[in-house]
Each structure stands twice: as C-alpha cells, then as structure tokens.
Structure 1
Amino acid sequence: MSIQTASSDLRAFAKKPLNRRSFLGFVGAGAAAATLAGCSTGTASTSGGLFSAEDIAGVIPNYYPVDFAVPDLVSVNGSTAGYLKLPTTLRKSVAKVPGAGGSYTALSPAWWTIPSSNNDYFKAVNKELGATIKFQVSDGNTYGEKIQAVLASPNNVPDMVVIPSWNLPPKFDQAVTSLFADLSPYLAGDKVKDYPNLANIPTDSWKYSVFQGKLFGLPYPGEVIQNAFFYRKDIFDELGLPLPTDAESFITILTEATDASKNRWGADDLWNAGQIMFGVPDKWTVADGKLVHKFETDQYREALDWLTRLFKSGAVHPDAMAGNDQQANSRYEAGNTLVKSDGVGGWAESLARVLPSNPGYNTQAMDFFAADGGDPTLYKGSPTNIFSFINKKADEKAIKEMLAVADFIAAPFGTAEYQLLNSGVQGTHYDLDANGAPVLNAKGQAEVTSTYSFLVHPPVVQAHVEYPQFVTDYCNWSARMSAFAADPVLYGVQIQEPAKFGSLGKPFDDLKADVANGRKELSALDGAIETWKSNGGNELRKFYQKYLDA
C-alpha cells in the first residue's frame, strides 16, 4: 500500500484534540479512492485527454526557492527539514500589505471545534492581509457531501473553495473548468515572480494541481514519507522488548508484549504495516509493460496472510479486530496497545495530548523493514494533499488580490507571517517559553486554527520548536527512510477515475476483515480478484494503461 496519508507541520493540529482518530493519519484513507497520481516523467492527464510533460510545464510556476531560516536538520533525499528553535528575528517575506481592501468568502473544513467567525485571530490576520477572508467552516467528517452540494449550485460557490484530495467529487475534472479560474495566466513560468512565496512551493505540488491541462489549484504540499509504525518506546523499554527486524519477529514480540489481564495488547490493526513490509505496490505496478493491480500481486496475498496470523496470535486489541479504529489513538496513548500505524502528523499531535499529564510518554517511529528483514520498498506520498480553488466569476483584479493574499499565507518558517498564521498574536494567543518557543494560551487554543493554511501552504518542514527532541527524532527518521522512497507508477499529476469505478475496491476492505478474523479463508481472495476483474477491474486497467503507454 502506498504511504498515502498526509502530514503537516501545523502547530494548531498539535494543540487541538480532534474528533477523529487523527486528522493527519486519516488524510490518505479517502484519497486513493478519489484520485491517482499521474506520470511525472512521461505524459500527464485527466480523464478529459492526454497532455504532454511539455504541456504541463507550460502552465505551472517556475521554482524559485526562498530561505528565511537555515534548518538545523537539513533535507536528505527529499526528507523533511527541521528547526529546533525560532530565529532571533522573524523576517517579513511580504514587503507591503498584500490586499487592497477586498472581502472574500472561503469554504474550508475543520476537524476541531469551529471557532467564532469574529474572533481576534481572524481579525489580526485579516488586518495584516489588508483584505477580509470570511470563512464558511464545515465539519471535516462530512465535508465530501458538503463539497458536492456546494458545487451542484454554481451560483452559491464561494470565492475560494478548499477541497482535500480525498474529497474531490466524481467528475470534478469536468466541473473544474466551469466553476473555477485558470490560474496559469497569473502564475505560469516566471509570472510567479510576482508571488515569491508561491514560487517557493515544489514543482511536483504544482503539477498535481493541474486539471484538464490547466493550473486550477493552489497546493498544500505533502511529505515524501507520510506514514509510520509508531511504538511506545517507554513501555518497550520497561518490558525489555527489542524492536522487530522482520515480519516474523514482529508477531513474536507483539505476542510477548500482550497481557490481557493488564489490559495490554501488542498492537492495533497493522494492515498498513503489513502491506509496507511485504512491498505491496502503490495501487498499480508494471509487469512486462502491463499494469497489474495491487490486489492481484503475491505481495498483497502475503501481507493478508501475515495479518491473519497476527490476529490469530491474540496480540491485536479486540476492539481493533472488530474494526473500531476511531479509538486507536486513545488505546495507544493509554498503553492498551503498544504499536500502531498512523500518519506522521499524528506524532506531534500525540505528544501535545499526552505529555502534560504523562511526562514520561515516549512515542517513536520504527525504521521500516522488509518482511524478510531486508531494505523496505517505500512509495512517495502524494505531492499535494489539499487544494484550494478560486471562483471563475472573479475578475482579474480580484484574482490578483486573492493570489497576493495566498502569497502571504504561503510564507515559510522563519517569517513573521508564518508565526502569525500558526500562533496568532504574542501576548494575546501565545507566550514564549524559556527556550523561546511559542506556547498557545487558552485563547490561542480556542481561536488559532489551520483555516488560512488550508488555502495554500509553504513546503512542509518540521517546526515544532516546543518539542526540539521530537524534531530531531522525526527528521533523522525521515532522512533514513526517504532513502528508500521511490515514485509509484503514474506519480505526480492528476488523473481522476471515472465515477463508476469509485466503489470497485470496497469488497477487498470487507474481505480483509473477514480473512484476518478467520471468518473466511485466504483462498477467498482468488474469487474476489476474479469478481473485481469482471466487475470493472480489467476496464479500469485499460483506462490507466493508455497513460502508461503514452
């Protein structure tokens, strides 16, 4: 399985309890059903037609990196860079107030308590923007339905619309041209020089924001490695448990850790971990020049067999075996499970939730390994996890003002703009601790959210300066693991599947649960594959094969 869960350095996520298992751990789960990346080195496309790499290059911004703070932990092989402290002086990346007094509505999701629309954080940011962004915030758990309803009423589409990649609705590649503005005339090539912070966003993120051969989206970039096997190092050390080094020792160690009388189990559902260990492809792989779906591979079968043996060992928490993943974080943080698979953003979130009451809490990410103990096969995460779009009805003046506002919002770490967006106003929303790290107060926790950052985001870095040891651990782990990251087949540019294929993979989710729990034999996978082929799998293969051939 692809490492498709999205991640972020947004401090607001780490400060606020989410009403999901973990927003950042959840990101990739729906994304795969909605979109598949296109080819970054050959042709790129949507279902509306084939576009060459040259076509795509002609509509995206040129890349001009900016640097306002030198990272303490540099990027290696595309890994996440990290900062251990705030710069002594925060620099302004935008020379003048970007807005010209305009007022714009913006639809955005939230996985936390929705703050008042008239709070001091919004007021402070809008003042610096020189324009007013009026957010229409909707529950992130039902945001897909909200997006479909809004886009079905063209006259009611807000000025800016945030759409996570996993919430792109069916036939969006057709609707995008009629509802949203083509940003290519404003950002393509060197035109982006008018917006230096937007020019700092990686090229692959812009490629993935191209639909129907034109640039429509403003991107929220993803990280190269977006998922991890987390383990409770504090409890591993207490029990004297070694780290696993292959698939078999994984089961043995998790079984040894399990003691139901102490309400402690080795792990939660580790299906993602099993797929990574056995090198299950990112949706498609290529054999003899033809596409093979991951369901059809030996690796998928081996991963499912491993999961079944893990479940049978008794090392998996009963609630996880029953499919209750909503409480996975709670089980892990309480010490009821010792290993879980989650999005990398869940690491900092977990520290923020637990450390105040349990200073000895130590959650770490394992280094990945292959099932046989060799090097892992990892696939890069999506280059863009969230998009925002500008209403096509906006005139040129309004589009330029919204892009100037976006340039402010895309300011990277080390800037006054980044600090304002992520922590609010010093003395009002946060204070500095003894190490100079911003700590949100009660007002900050209630008001400061990631809402603006959903509109566009700078390249992701690890900037939780309030947790310097975490930043060190995270960036060193990311650097080690990024060395094994490869491009999935058809990586990096939007291709939206026809809607009729949307539920084609659902039976495999049900089958995984049935086989792992012993309700069906592993051999049931054979029949499921044949049904998948006849119900549209072979047709879907032909749909993607034309892009591979191109």
Structure 2
Amino acid sequence: MDERTRARFSRRSVLGFMGTGAIAVAAPGALSACSSSGGGSAPAATGPISAADLARILPAYQPLDLVQPDIPGVDGSTPGFTTMPARLVKSVAATPGKGGTYTVMSPAWWTPPPGLGSNTFYQAVNEQLGATLDFQVADGNTYGDKLQAVLASPKDIADWVVMPSWNIPPRFGQGVGKLFTDLTDFLAGDKIKKYPNLANIPTDAWKYSAFNGRIYALPYPGELIGNAIFHRRDIFEQLGLQPPTTPEEYIAVAKAATDPAAGRWGSEDVWNGAQFIFNASTDWYVQGGKLVSRFETDGYREAVAWLRQLFESGAVHPDAVAGNTQNAKDRFEAGQTLLTFDGLGGWEEALTRVRPSNPSYDQQPLDFFAPAGQEPRIPKGAPAGIFSFLKRTDDTARIEEMLAIADFCAAPFGTEEYQLVRYGVEGEHFTRDAAGAPTLNAKGQTEVTSTYEFLVSPPIVNATVQFPDMVRDLTDWMARMSTFSVEPVFYGQQIQDPAQYSSLGKPFDDLVKDIARGREDLDALDEAVKTWRSSGGDELRAYREKFLTGDETEI
C-alpha cells in the first residue's frame, strides 16, 4: 500500500474512534490573549441554548442525488459503492473563486507534501478553484500545541484554520467569535442553498459546528457507527467456531479458540468493546430522570466484572495482559488473536496489508449484543470529527469566496471535484487499478494529501471498490446495527467542560487494568466513584445539567 493511501486509512481509523469520546488536549486559557478584530460582535461565554433557538440558525438540509450507491444507507448508516461510477458528475458549474489568495493551517499525520511553489497537485486544484490556497501543513501529532500558540496570537492566525475535534482548546467557546468569522448569516436556513454541496451535509454535522448558538465551523462529517468487535471469520470456520452472540458466549468462544501451543489466543484486551456491550461507552447517561456519569452506572461495573472474567479465562494474549496494545493489529492479522476491538477504518487497512499474501484473510465485525434480556444500545458516533474556521473578517466578498471554495471541496463521491481534491489529475498524479479505483503514482504519493478535504467534506461513503466483499459486508452490518443506534446525552452539542475537571476520569483507566488482571478487587470501584464525586465529579455534573434539554432518552 502506498504512503498516501496508508495515511488516508490511518486518519479514517482515528476518526472512527472519535465517537467514543476523544479528549481535547490543550492548555487552559489558550485564548486569553485574544482580541476583537471585526466580523460582528463576539459571543457570550459558552452556555446552554434551547433546541428551538438552535434550529433557527441551522442550514436547511438539501440532500443531493447525483450518484446512486450500489447499497443505500439505512437510518443514517453509510451507503456503499462496490463499483466505480461509470461516469463522473460535475457538481460545480462555475469556477468558485474570484482570484483571492488564502493561507491555510492544516495538520498531517504523514510526511508533509512540498509547498505550493513545487506542488503540481496544489497548483492543479487551485487552478480549478480560481483562487490560491497556500497550505501551512503542521505535524498532526503536535498540532494541538501549534494551535495553542497560534490562537494566543491572533496576528499569526491563517485565513483558514483546520481544527480536529480533539484539538479544540478549553474555553474555545469564549474566544471563538474574537478569532473566527460567524458564518450563520451566510448559511442559516435556505441561505445554504447557494452552496448545494454544503447543503448536502447532514443537519447533525452543522449542529455540532455551532458554538454559543452560532455556526462558526465547516464540518468533516462522521459515521453513524465508528467501531466494532472484529473476529477472524476465516479461522473461526477452520476451528468450527460460531461468532458469539452473548457476553457469556464471547468468553466461551475465546477460551475454545485459545491454544498456546499453536501460538493462538482467543482475544485481545477488548475493554472498549466491553463498554459497548454493557451500555457504558459514553460519558453521561440519564437514568431515573437524573444525570449520571458512566462510572456510576451498573453497566460500567458489569463491564469491568466481565472483562475480569475474560482475563481469568486465560483467553487474552499474554502481550495484551502485559499491557502491550501497540501490536494488537499485528497479532490479530497474524492469527495470534481471533477477537479484537478496532475502528471500522482498520478493516480496510488490514485487507490492504494482508490480502496480497493471504487471499483468504477474512475479518468481520460481530453484531453488537447485550446482556440477557436486553437489546444493544449503540451510541451514535460524533456527527463531525474535524472542523475548519475562517479567520474573522468583515470582508463579505472574501467570506463568500471561501464558502464557494468550500462548496467545491464538499462535492460528494462520484463527482469530478471529489476525485480532484483527493487524487489530483489522472495520468499525472494517479492511475486506476483493476477495479477502476484511483491509485496514486510516485508523484501523487509525494504531492497529494488530505488538505482540501480537511476544509470540509461530504457525507462519508464506503467506496473501497477494490474490496467489494468488504463494502457489502460493512454496509449490511451497519444497516443492521442502525436499528440499535441511539443518541447519547448531549449528542451534537459543543460543550466544553471546565479545565479543572479534565483528568477526573484518569484514575479509572488504571483501576480497570488492575481489576481485570486481578491486582485489585471489583469493590475498589466503589471507593473510586466516591473519590470522583468528592474531587469534582458532582460539580461537573451540575455544570453539565445546565445543558440538558429535557428531551433526553434514558439510556
């Protein structure tokens, strides 16, 4: 697999995990040095907003029907394409830009591409845009630190800033209007129709792009479900094992698959999967009409107890028992473990790595299950995972030009624009494989990167046409699981907790590891919960209660 493809898949894996509560990492007070510089009045400090007020500022959803998927989505699940469209559609009739020049700050978790002056990919896209975007690409692993420094010095802010959700600083809502342009009056309601590709982005993604009741960000939409417990179906069939359908069966099957003499263990450490099974995978729940932390729920305790039983069974790989999670993918792909938890993007990565040498390799997600007498309750993933912001300005012409450029970048799969911003020019940056999918050549691997698509993206589709079996299996699985999807408490709301509470949950991470491995008793959870409450948990709960709308489902 080429570097560019590997980078794209790795990023998608990261996005898959964001639905489970990725934590923003940034120093408190990063925006304390911000000053007003035009673009309308700054918003008040972050606070609750009514559902009615929020609905009034959201863009009107206008889904596009340019290219029909081979497998439609169901109730928000990701649609699938098992083949490339016979003909690409042009979604933007006129050149969107007016000759403007804009600097763009963007992350990269791979080797940064050459700059504008020597990058023919940038030059080709900018030519079609009718404007110049000059990307300032920074290391994604230290991007949060870079953002802090830039946001603290408004004069250093680029015209367009990409911000992954996990890099949004504390107290960002207090300063967002001092730094970035309020887009509400350009996009609210039917005004979005001026930008059809932006109007094709689901409402929940726009809702999640609102800070203090105003639209400030352009979103990179997420998936309904981003994670799964996977099993090696090929080896299961060789061993005569059936996929588990209950928590008890999981342990039994994992134990039956374990054969240390053959170098095979049934399971990795699937703590994240356990929290899904026992309905304890989101931070907050409403139970009995009250807001409770997941640490306080019966489901969390049951998940810890189940995980301990799994470890006691001897079915967990010794390296996982020792805490080595870095090589979990390698162990699973090599058949050393047969059950693991991963982001859905990891499926595509694995097939690309393993299928060339092992054509029979077959990993499949388990249908989510729950304890006896219960149905699965799968929390919806974050409606967006990456955002971009326009530097605060009163220049309406510049704002509208950048929004027109964003509309071009948001063109859906099956369009000329989608292909251009992701793969460049055919023959120069990419060729096509046997399935017709674009494949970057050596030049493309060096120059093409995910910069334009980070600005804003269309709804996600599964279009890995080189693996049509995976497309069918994944699309069908997500459609089945969509029946059990639920909106977690505070779904789609941009809420930033006070910085002093950011590490409250950390002791539970270490405690769960100790309980699972028999170093602590399950009763240690009771004392940990008491400590959490007295150390700020009750205050955090009171803060969060202000954001309840009264319409929350008890889950």
Normalised TM-score (structure 2): 0.91
Select the structure with the greater relative contact order (CA < 8 A; seq sep ≥ 6): 1
Match in the other structure for 1:405: 405
Secondary structure at 2:229 match in 1: strand
1:221-236 mapped onto 2 (5 Å cutoff): 221-236=221-236
The letter for the 2-side match of 1:31 is: A
Partners of 2:44 and 2:174 within 8 A in 1: no
The equivalent of 2:473 in structure 1 is 473
1:58 aligned residue: 56
Task: Provide the rounded CA distance (Å) in 2 between the counterparts of 1:424 and 1:466.
Answer: 19
Give the C-alpha shift of residue 306 in structure 1.
0.8
Pairwise CA distance, 1:214: 0.9
Q: What amino acid maps onto 1:372 in structure 2?
A: A
Q: Which amino acid letter does the alignment assign opposite residue 446 of structure 2? A: A
The equivalences for 1:138-217 within 5 A come to 138-217=138-217
Whole-angstrom distance in 2 between the partners of 1:300 and 1:391: 42
Shift of 1:533: 0.2
Query: What is residue 107 of structure 1 aligned with on the other side?
Result: 105
1:209-232 deviations in Å (ceiling 9; x for gaps): 000111101011111111111122
Residues 64 and 200, structure 1, Cα contact 8 Å, conserved in 2: yes
Name the counterpart of 2:364. 364
Closer/same/farther in 2, CA of residues 274 and 14 from structure 1, 3 Å limit: farther
Contact kept, 8 Å, 1:19 with 1:112, in 2: the verdict is no
Structure 1 residues 145, 26: CA separation in 2 closer, same or farther (over 3 Å shift)?
farther
22, 27, 51: which one aligns with 1:31: 22
Which 10-residue stretch deviates more, 280-289 or 514-523? Answer: 280-289
Q: Secondary structure at the match of 2:57?
A: coil
Whether the aligned pair in 2 keeps the contact of 1:85 and 1:465 (CA below 8 Å) is yes
Partners of 1:17 and 1:231 lie apart in 2 by 24
Cα deviation digits, residues 341-375 of structure 1 (max 9, x gap): 11112221222222233222212111111133753
What aligned pairs does 1:316-327 form with structure 2 within 5 A after superposition? Answer: 316-327=316-327
Among candidates 68, 86, 89, match of residue 87 of structure 2:
89
Per the alignment, residue 253 of structure 2 pairs with 253
Q: Contact 2:61–2:200 (CA<8 Å) still a contact in 1?
A: yes
Task: Indicate how the Cα distance of structure 1 residues 97 and 147 shifts in structure 2: closer, same or farther if over 3 A, else same.
Answer: same
Distance 1:264 1:46 in 2: 57
Equivalent residue number for residue 454 of structure 1: 454
Q: Distance in 2 between matches of 1:534 and 1:455?
A: 42
SS in 1 for 2:512: helix
- For 1:518 and 1:406, the matched residues in 2 are separated by 53
Contact kept, 8 Å, 1:159 with 1:394, in 2: the verdict is: no
1:320/1:511 CA distance change after superposition, 3 Å: same
Unaligned runs of 5+ in 1: 1-10, 36-44
Rounded to whole Å, the distance in 2 between the matches of 1:422 and 1:501 is: 39
In terms of mean alpha carbon deviation, does 46-55 or 497-506 score higher? 46-55
Tell me: CA distance 1:417–1:368, structure 2 relative to 1, closer, same or farther (3 Å).
same
Shift of 1:250: 0.6
Aligned-residue sequence identity (percent) comes to 56
Aligned residue in 1 for 2:39:
none
**Per-residue displacement from partner, 1:43-86 (whole Å, max 9, x unpaired)?**
xx996233222321222211111111011111112111111222
Structure 1: which amino acid aligns with 2:377?
T
What is the CA distance between 1:100 and its match in structure 2?
1.7
* 14 and 253 in structure 1: CA distance in 2 versus 1, 3 angstrom threshold: farther
Q: Quick one: distance in 1 between partners of 2:543 and 2:7?
A: 42
Aligned residue for 1:108, secondary structure, equals strand
User: SS in structure 1 opposite 2:364?
Assistant: strand
2:297 aligns to what?
A: 297
1:24 CA displacement: 3.7
Q: Structure 1 pair 547/381, CA: closer, same or farther in 2 (3 Å)?
A: same
Distance 1:59 1:371, change over 3 A: same
56, 65, 68: which is aligned to 1:67? Answer: 65
What is the DSSP-based 3-state SS (H/G/I as helix, E as strand, rest coil) of the residue aligned with 1:107? Answer: strand
Q: What is the deviation of 1:180?
A: 0.6
Between the aligned partners of 2:460 and 2:163, the Cα distance in structure 1 is 18
Task: Say if 2:110 is the partner of 1:119.
Answer: no
Whole-angstrom distance in 2 between the partners of 1:205 and 1:104: 25
Q: Normalized against structure 1, the TM-score is what? A: 0.91
Partner of 1:3: none
Code of the aligned partner of 2:214:
K
**Structure 1 position 447, deviation (Å):** 3.1
Give the alignment's Cα RMSD to 1 decimal: 2.3
Provide structure 2 residue ranges, at least 5 long, that are not aligned to the other structure: 27-42, 551-555
| 8 A contact 1:99–1:405 mirrored in 2 | yes
More deviation in 177-186 or 273-282?
273-282
Q: 1:27 to 1:546 in 2, by over 3 A?
A: closer
CA drift at 1:245: 1.4
Quote the offset at 1:318 in angstroms.
2.5
1:428–1:130 Cα change, 3 Å: same
* Deviations, residues 209-268 of structure 1 (Å, cap 9, x unaligned): 000111101011111111111122222222222111111111111122222333322222
1:384 is the counterpart of 2:375: no
Matched residue type, 2:69: P
- d(CA) in 1 for partners of 2:538 and 2:211? 25
| 1:63 maps to amino acid | Y
Distance 1:254 1:319, change over 3 A: same
What is the deviation of 1:537? 0.5
Alignment-mate amino acid for residue 536 of structure 2: G
1:303 counterpart letter in structure 2:
A
More displaced 10-residue stretch of structure 1: 25-34 or 218-227: 25-34
Taking a change above 3 Å as real, the CA distance of residues 491 and 13 of structure 1, as seen in their structure-2 partners, is farther
1:137 is paired with a residue whose SS is strand
- Cα deviation digits, residues 299-326 of structure 1 (max 9, x gap): 1001001111112222222232233322
Give the counterpart letter for 1:83 in structure 2: F
